[in-house]
């Protein structure tokens, strides 16, 4: 279905608030958080690239076994913006990108499919919204390649979205998983 829409899974975070590598922490079914997030993205976009931190070989190995292409962001400690730029650079020839977060394992593949479909139908930027709160993943058309490649530090893509708010398409969803990221063990245990 993806027809040259690439998936980018951001898996280079530092897990500072978690007290360990949260991406390896098992969900209730025993699946590591990062693997669950990757599987939901891969179900829709087989051409998915994961961006990992230089020192995170265990996460990289898990993601490679799941079938993702893995690229290393040697500047990951400076923030998410560099990981987005690294992922875009790794699949620069795509017509668009779905940028997903590896600490959001509850995003259903059906929602990602809707975002891909909107991009393929000509939407510019697409994001889910749950009860008036914008969530993830976010889809970008190739028109935003230059801006995404220039991201740095911990700014993420929020400024790109804000600068293009007139062309942001929001997809209403009843899936709370689009706003649930894992920051602490309590976030996992409460689900």
Residue 96, strand partner residues: 5, 141
Question: Looking at 24-28, 37-41, 181-185, which range is the least confident one?
Answer: 181-185
Beta strands in 37-179 (DSSP E): 48-53, 69-73, 96-101, 125-130, 133-134, 138-141, 168-172
- Whole-number Å distance between alpha carbons of 62 and 57: 9
- Whole-number Å distance between alpha carbons of 155 and 164: 16
Q: Is 68 part of any domain?
A: yes
Q: Is 190 part of any domain?
A: no
Q: Is 27 part of any domain?
A: yes
Q: Is 159 part of any domain?
A: yes
- Whole-number Å distance between alpha carbons of 107 and 177: 5
Query: What's the pLDDT score for residue 1?
Result: 45
Q: Are β-strands 96-101 and 138-141 bridged in parallel, bridged antiparallel, or unpaired?
A: antiparallel
What are the angstrom distances between the C-alpha of 113 and each of 3, 30, 95, 123? Answer: 12, 25, 16, 14
- Whole-number Å distance between alpha carbons of 161 and 140: 9
pLDDT at 189 over 90: no
Each residue's pLDDT tens digit, 75-106: 888 889 999 999 999 999 999 999 999 999 99
Quote the Cα angle for 43-35-157, to 5°: 80
Residue 171, strand partner residues: 128
Q: Is 124 part of any domain?
A: yes
Q: Is 191 part of any domain?
A: no
**Confidence at 129, pLDDT banded by 50, 70, 90:** very high
Query: What's the pLDDT score for residue 21?
Result: 82
Query: What's the pLDDT score for residue 184?
Result: 63
| DSSP-derived secondary structure letter, 26 | B
Q: Is 99 part of any domain?
A: yes
Q: Is 176 part of any domain?
A: yes
Containing 27, the helix (H) or strand (E) segment is: none
Query: What's the pLDDT score for residue 55?
Result: 74
CA-based nearest residue to 10, from 66, 67, 63: 63
| DSSP-derived secondary structure letter, 32 | B
75 neighbors 153 (Cβ within 8 angstroms) = no
Mean pLDDT of 175-183: 89
- Domain containing 108 equals 5-185
- Whole-number Å distance between alpha carbons of 179 and 110: 15
Query: What's the pLDDT score for residue 70?
Result: 97
Count of domains observed in the chain:
1
Residue 31, domain CATH: 3.90.550.10
Q: What share of the chain is helix, strand, coil (3-state, %, to 5)?
A: 40, 25, 40
In the block, residue with structure tokens 């889910």: 128
């Amino acid at each position: 279905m993806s027809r040259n829409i690439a998936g980018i899974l951001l898996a280079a975070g530092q897990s500072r608030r978690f007290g360990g590598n949260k991406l390896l922490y098992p969900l209730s079914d025993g699946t590591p958080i990062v693997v669950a997030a990757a599987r939901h993205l891969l179900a829709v976009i087989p051409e998915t690239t994961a961006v990992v931190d230089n020192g995170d070989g265990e996460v990289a190995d898990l993601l490679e076994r799941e079938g993702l292409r893995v690229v290393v962001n040697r500047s990951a400690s400076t923030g998410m913006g560099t990981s987005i730029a690294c992922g875009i650079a790794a699949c620069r020839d795509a017509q668009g990108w779905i940028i997903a977060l590896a600490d959001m394992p509850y995003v259903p593949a059906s929602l990602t499919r809707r975002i891909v479909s909107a991009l393929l139908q000509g939407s510019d930027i697409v994001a889910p919204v749950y009860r008036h709160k914008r969530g993830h993943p976010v889809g970008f058309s190739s028109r935003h390649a230059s801006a995404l490649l220039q991201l740095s530090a911990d700014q993420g893509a929020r400024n790109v979205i804000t600068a293009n708010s007139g062309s942001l398409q929001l997809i209403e969803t009843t899936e709370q998983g689009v706003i649930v990221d894992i920051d602490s063990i309590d976030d996992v245990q409460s689900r």
